[in-house]
Amino acid sequence: MTSELHIPRRSPGARTDWSRLASRTRLHAEDLPASELEKLEPILREDVLSEYDARFLSAYLHGKGLPFTSRFRLAEERWREDEERHYHHTAEVYRELYGLDPELLADRRARFEPLEELFDDELSILVLLAYDELATVGAYQANLEAYGRLGPAYREWVRALVADEAWHYAMFLAVLRDAHGDRLDQAEESLERVIAYEGTPYGATFVLDHDDPVFTPGLLERTARLLRRHLRDGSGGGEGIFEGL
Ligand SMILES: [Fe+2]
Ligand SMILES: [Fe+2]
């Protein structure tokens, strides 16, 4: 075990005040044709729901009774706060533009049973979380042009989301190395197992929410390749990202 890992309190997106995001986005959207707004609706709805589901994953992890390290618990707490903030502002924008149907979330229940094998221990969970965050970075980036139609404020918000999800990736990678550095070969095996579960119908589990066509086989392959490389050669900002912040 190495020395205590330092994870700063605030991720990139938490350093900006987003209180005017929804009103600024609405102002811009007023000039958009209705058909354009309609096309963007499913993308935004999916984002709201995805970010919302973090609470189910967090509750599931807490309920598992696994002996998590203090590093893991800290990273999970930071991650959970960020995802809640992502949900809060994305939902605010959605409400401004489309009126959030409360029914949309009311009956949402998570089904973790089909993925249970991926939550064996802390190491497997970290691999799953790292892989998932990195895939999300790719998905938000792939849709940047679409988000940009909602104006500069929303574009800036999505860039902050990308930075936060990349931050989560680096944070989970850092805990993986810091607390489980002697088992990184097993991390690669865990990754192969995660990949084998791609295609499992999504059950509000936050992870593997990859039914959307933006998650192309190419994007998922690139995600796995990058994580594999970072596990093998120690790169990927897992440690360095926290320094000097
Ligand atoms: Fe998020
Ligand atoms: Fe994230």
**Residue-wise pLDDT tens digits, 73-127:** 999 999 999 999 999 999 999 999 998 776 778 789 999 999 999 999 999 999 9
Separation of 80 CA from ligand 2 center, angstroms?
Answer: 8
Q: Answer whether residue 11 shows pLDDT above 60.
A: yes
Does some domain include residue 217?
A: yes
For residue 192, CA distances in Å to 183, 196, 218, 221 come to: 15, 6, 16, 11
State how far the Cα of 51 lies from the Cα of 85, in Å rounded to an integer.
9
Q: Summarize pLDDT for 211-220 with one digit per residue, the tens.
A: 888 999 999 9
Separation of 169 CA from ligand 1 center, angstroms?
Answer: 11
Ligand nearest to the CA of 84: 1
Does some domain include residue 233?
A: yes
Ligand nearest to the CA of 85: 1
The CATH number of whichever domain residue 203 belongs to comes to 1.10.620
Separation of 37 CA from ligand 1 center, angstroms?
Answer: 22
Separation of 227 CA from ligand 2 center, angstroms?
Answer: 15
Separation of 241 CA from ligand 1 center, angstroms?
Answer: 18
Q: Which domain holds residue 105?
A: 20-242
Ligand nearest to the CA of 129: 2
**Neighbouring C-beta atoms of residue 43, cutoff 10 Å:** 15
pTM as predicted: 0.91
Separation of 92 CA from ligand 2 center, angstroms?
Answer: 18
Q: Mark out the alpha helices in the chain (DSSP H runs).
A: 21-29, 34-52, 54-63, 70-98, 103-106, 122-142, 144-148, 152-180, 184-196, 217-233
Separation of 176 CA from ligand 1 center, angstroms?
Answer: 20
Say which residue, 241 or 164, is predicted with more confidence. Answer: 164
Does some domain include residue 7?
A: no
Give me the pLDDT at residue 106, please: 79
Q: Answer whether residue 5 shows pLDDT above 90.
A: no
Q: Contact at 8 Å (CB) between 13 and 82? A: yes
Share the mean pLDDT of the chain: 90
pLDDT band at 9 (very low <50, low <70, confident <90, very high): low
Does some domain include residue 15?
A: no
Nearest to 114 by CA among 228, 173, 190, 197: 197
Does some domain include residue 89?
A: yes
- Comparing 15-29, 95-109, 166-180, the range with the smallest average pLDDT is 95-109
Does some domain include residue 11?
A: no
Does some domain include residue 164?
A: yes
Amino acid at 174: A
Does some domain include residue 174?
A: yes
The total of structural domains in the chain comes to 1
